[in-house]
Amino acid sequence: MARCSPLKAVHLPAQVTIPPRFHKVRAVTSMTLALSKGRIFEETLPLLAAAGIVPADDPERSRKLIIDTNRPDVRLVIVRATDTPTYVQYGAADLGIAGKDVLLEHGGAGLYQPLDLNIARCRLCVATCKGFDYAAAVRPGGRIRVATKYINAAKAHFADKGMHVDLIKLYGSMELAPLVGLADAIVDLVSSGGTLRANNLEEVEEIMPISSRLIVNQAALKLKRDLIQPLLDAFQGAVTGDRT
Ligand code: ATP
Ligand code: MG
């Protein structure tokens, strides 16, 4: 079997300088917006249109992760929903659109959240198997085992009730956990409730309504205000129905 050759030390001539990392030198005359595929992308299209921005590709069809738009100074990056705040926090994207659920878990460091876009609306809920005595389980001093991907939100919710909660972190299909005895309850997003019903679960408590927000890198807002402010204004107009 071929073996890797050991790394050799590279000696750079004295006059060679290493360029700064690319995102720090990306021109202040262009901006990058981070979006996730699916409902956020779909529901953002009309807002982009209100700002005169039309993506050149559909991320559902194309495998491209960087999508150009009709505007040479605007590009989109397609990221996992939970990664959106991270790209914006570090300035790899100037702006992004992320659910309040995702922002609660991220914590919001380094981000402005100037606009609730009122898209991708749903609610964060507690759900259990039908017939589970949730009222008895949530008495102060009680103990409950909860599976969720929303650890921070769930911890805060049950702490407010003065309860002990054993949290089990999952990354998807939370509905399965109570059905197979992994947890007494789940904390998950619900919109129509169809998935809960199909799995013999019921919503027992709403924690908070959820929608998606525009997030902006704090440094980008200062350095690129001329580019970003018109976008904020167009989004604001589209959200409130004011197109003057
Ligand atoms: P996946 O479902 O592939 O694991 P995800 O959950 O990270 O990915 P989406 O399901 O597209 O991504 O959700 C993206 C955002 O849309 C969520 O962060 C949330 O704010 C919102 N959302 C999630 N589920 C619903 C829903 N059922 N109805 C409306 N909005 C939702
Ligand atoms: Mg999902």
Mean pLDDT by 10 residues, the chain (244 residues): 48 51 64 97 97 96 96 97 98 98 96 97 98 92 94 95 94 97 98 97 98 97 96 96 68
Distance CA 125, CA 116 (A): 20
pLDDT, residue 241, reads 87
pLDDT, residue 210, reads 98
| Torsion sign over Cα 82, 144, 211, 105 | negative
pLDDT, residue 142, reads 84
Q: Model's pTM, two decimal places?
A: 0.88
User: Which of 36, 39, 83, 124 for a ligand 1 pocket mutation test, highest count of atoms within 8 Å of Cβ?
Assistant: 39
Gap from CA of 164 to ligand 2 centroid (Å): 27
66 Cβ contact partners less than 8 Å away, ≥ 6 residues apart: 75, 76, 77, 78
- Sort 105 into a burial class: Cβ within 10 Å, 0-12 / 13-18 / 19+: middle
For the domain covering 20-121+211-240, report its CATH number.
3.40.190.10
Gap from CA of 119 to ligand 1 centroid (Å): 11
In the chain, ranges of CATH 3.40.190.10 domains: 20-121+211-240, 122-210
pLDDT, residue 15, reads 55
pLDDT, residue 5, reads 47
Do residues 69 and 54 touch, judged by C-beta distance below 8 A? yes
DSSP 8: P
Farthest CA pair distance, the chain? 74
Q: Please tell me the residue having the least CA distance from ligand 1 atom 2.
A: 172
CATH 3.40.1190.10 fits 122-210, yes or no: no
Phi and psi, residue 133, nearest 5°: -85, 80
pLDDT, residue 1, reads 42
pLDDT, residue 17, reads 53
Q: Please tell me the residue having the least CA distance from ligand 1 atom 22.
A: 120
Torsion over CA of 24, 25, 29 and 30, rounded to 10 degrees?
A: -60
Q: Please tell me the residue having the least CA distance from ligand 1 atom 8.
A: 81
- Sort 140 into a burial class: Cβ within 10 Å, 0-12 / 13-18 / 19+: exposed
Helix extents (H) in 146-224: 151-160, 176-179, 194-198, 218-223
Q: Is the CB of 93 under 6 A from ligand 1?
A: no
Q: Please tell me the residue having the least CA distance from ligand 1 atom 1.
A: 172
